[in-house]
Structure 1
Amino acid sequence: MNRIIPEPIARQPWGMLIPLFMLVGFGAAVLYSAAGGSMQPFAASHLIRFGVFMVMAAVIASLPRPLVKFMAYPAYIVVLLLLIAVEIIGQVNGGSQRWLNLGPIVLQPSELMKPVVVVTLAHYFSTLPVGMFANWRAVVLPGILIGLPMAFVLLQPDLGTSLAIAFGGGVVMLLAGLPLRWFIGAGLTAAAAAPVAFYFGLQEYQQRRVLTMFDPEADPLGAGYHITQSKIAIGSGGIFGKGFNNGSQSHLQYLPEPHTDFVFATMAEEWGLLGGLFVLAIFAIILRWGWKVALASRDRFSNLLASGMVATIFFYIAVNLLMVMGFAPVVGIPLPFMSHGGSSMLTNMICIGSLMMVNSWNRDAPRGGLSG
């Protein structure tokens, strides 16, 4: 078989790529339906973006480890400067200032910061002496590296993305080997500070979203409208769904954002429980493959890099699904590889490309224990 299929093609992780292609194709079908039975404006651009970013992922997969480590801190500085530029000359859309208009493309730098923070922290902890891990000084620089972009993203304001940055960075810090008691203490401190942060740190509309999560029926035509309509769409699909292109909630425009944040609800209405289980199974395959790549890594940098990328994809999936089912506030986190949106597709394909890159490093690495 190896003589028939060229080596560069045969060595690709098809066990992950084929399910990924299936998920993207299924997402395009859902977006086709969300547009009322048309490839425009969602499905066609979704497939084109995936094709372009798949090429980008293949390029990332070919990068050598020394180059990636060398570029970690410069990349962080560049993206941080872009976040600062958003505050100065950023494009305002929907009441939020999150985008930079760069001519042919409109860039959301906060999305780039998610994988960049992971790479930067992985590089930092891979160079940190083992004896320093239990020292409080070991968390000062990582805390700054996470806190700075979070502060600028919260100014936009974008709570969901700031939490995603914190989650990816926190996972890297945890798996790097920092004392568990620090994370328990941080969790207890965050819980104690939550009421203060709620009343003084969140915008009024963000407070309404949090309260609506507990009782969306209290204001079904206002703050609870998104969650209420999403739950109606998911529940009305039943086991087998209403059928492809037959969803009433999205077609009659009851369901807000049926092509982005609530694409899972759009899918569930037409494809039912079986469609939802298919999507969850594909995500499980992708995440399991990514975790196996992390476990197979033979150096600390590769291990932390792969683990952080898996955590970033997982955050997208978990928060979006909890959000559309009413178990989390509506924070504007799209569903990976299915929602229409260039910025989220870019971030998740950077994660996929990084995992493919670490996978290629693992194949070439000598067998032995985990090193720095």
Structure 2
Amino acid sequence: MNVARRGIVPDPIARQPWGMLIPLLLLTAFGAAVLYSAAGGSMDPFASSHLTRFAVFLVMAAVIAALPQPFVRLMTYPAYVVVLLLLMAVEIIGQVGGGSQRWLNLGFIVLQPSELMKPVIVLTLALYFAKLPVGLITSWRALAVPAVIIGLPMGLVLLQPDLGTSLALAFGGGVVMLLAGLPLRWFFGAGLAAAAAAPVAFYFGLQEYQQRRVLTMFDPEADPLGAGYHITQSKIAIGSGGLFGKGFNNGSQSHLQYLPEPHTDFVFATMAEEWGLLGGLFVIIAFAIILRWGLKVAFQSRDRFGSLVAGGMTATIFFYVAVNLLMVMGFAPVVGIPLPFMSHGGSSMLTNMICIGALMMVNRWNRDAPRSGFAS
């Protein structure tokens, strides 16, 4: 029986997608526990700010979820232009940190515009394909214009340099194009072209440290104290956790500072050492529930725009999760992609909560709109 109708739970609360929100809340709380341990048994500086950011961005996601579709359509192209201008500003006046120029100091916040571009590029391509007549989906307009939409921010991000974010932009945009119905042969052709160009890009397009990261992925033991140090220590931490882990706040790799970045990029390794395989399964299952819900929202969308937005936002979250987990286990180069809702970091939390808010927004559109099939 519907508890909202019986008056037990207010209708606005009962209508929320708790099947996604509960795993999200549990995952974030678990992340705070791991960050508490990573700080040596202290809420500061990681766990407290992690929970504060999540609370603030959850309110932001609720605001996004309430946006009407006409307003979102109206603001999508201007938002793309604004974020593109911010990326250009990074190249001119951006802050440098860790050898990269990625941030803008706006006084009240230090902003990483490339993170904002991830959900914005999904919205932009979704709107473009929603407006494109179905008969033109195999024409040059279905490929050339999106290539420019993706290529401009990718080029600016590569100048920072930030390979991981540029790949995230390409992945999110590519998924929207795939869902829009572009011919599969185009994607196979692009894959073959990328494979053929990979050696040239490796030797002439990547920085020296990026080349070392790629080579280290194949043989981290070749330089265990240099380029392979991160992956080697991560594997030790994950492997030493066993089935049940060493116990909460008892991780040696992170506490003795053998594990680099235990609170950001390698937070999964920090968790696995203390919580073992069971903790890892909890994290993976929680992400699987969230991503499955996102795909369900996309498939149930009443219109083309909503479906593409939901599919692209789900793909963006998936990219974070997949690359981070592959990275900490040594199956992908170390590219600085944090684990959503668990790693300490405001920029990645902002991006992923925008994606969550957009998915809740489309879910509300689905619930409120009459069932009439796809529309432009």
Q: Say whether 1:56 aligns with 2:77.
A: no
Structure 1, gaps ≥5 residues long: none
Pairing partner for 1:197 from 168, 184, 201: 201
Distance 2:49 2:219 in 1: 36
Which residue does 1:367 correspond to in 2?
371
Which residue does 1:159 correspond to in 2?
163
Q: Which structure 2 residues correspond to residues 264-343 of structure 1 after superposition, within 5 A?
A: 264-343=268-347
Q: Say whether 1:211 aligns with 2:215.
A: yes
Distance 1:159 1:243 in 2: 36
Distance 1:316 1:137 in 2: 30
Letter in 2 for 1:177: G
Distance 1:321 1:136 in 2: 37
Which residue does 1:354 correspond to in 2?
358
Structure 2, gaps ≥5 residues long: none
Distance 1:199 1:139 in 2: 28
Deviations 1:33-88 (A, max 9, x none): 00000000000000000000000000000000010011110000000000000000
Structure 1 length-normalised TM:
0.99
Pairing partner for 1:249 from 241, 247, 253: 253
Displacement of 1:298: 1.1
Pairing partner for 1:26 from 26, 30, 42: 30
SS in 2 for 1:371: coil
Displacement of 1:370: 1.7
Cα RMSD for the two superposed structures: 0.5
Displacement of 1:7: 1.4
Structure 2 length-normalised TM:
0.98
Displacement of 1:5: 1.6
Displacement of 1:4: 2.3
Moved more, 1-10 or 217-226: 1-10
Moved more, 343-352 or 5-14: 5-14
Distance 2:295 2:177 in 1: 16
Q: Which runs of 4+ in 1 moved over 2 A?
A: none
Distance 2:55 2:141 in 1: 43
Letter in 2 for 1:217: E
Which residue does 1:168 correspond to in 2?
172
Distance 1:8 1:298 in 2: 21
Distance 1:249 1:24 in 2: 22
Deviations 1:12-53 (A, max 9, x none): 001110110000000000000000000000000000000000
Distance 1:140 1:178 in 2: 12
Which residue does 1:136 correspond to in 2?
140
Distance 1:247 1:261 in 2: 17
Letter in 1 for 2:210: Q
How many residues are paired up? 372
Q: Say whether 1:78 aligns with 2:82.
A: yes
Letter in 1 for 2:111: L
SS in 1 for 2:52: helix
Which residue does 2:266 correspond to in 1?
262
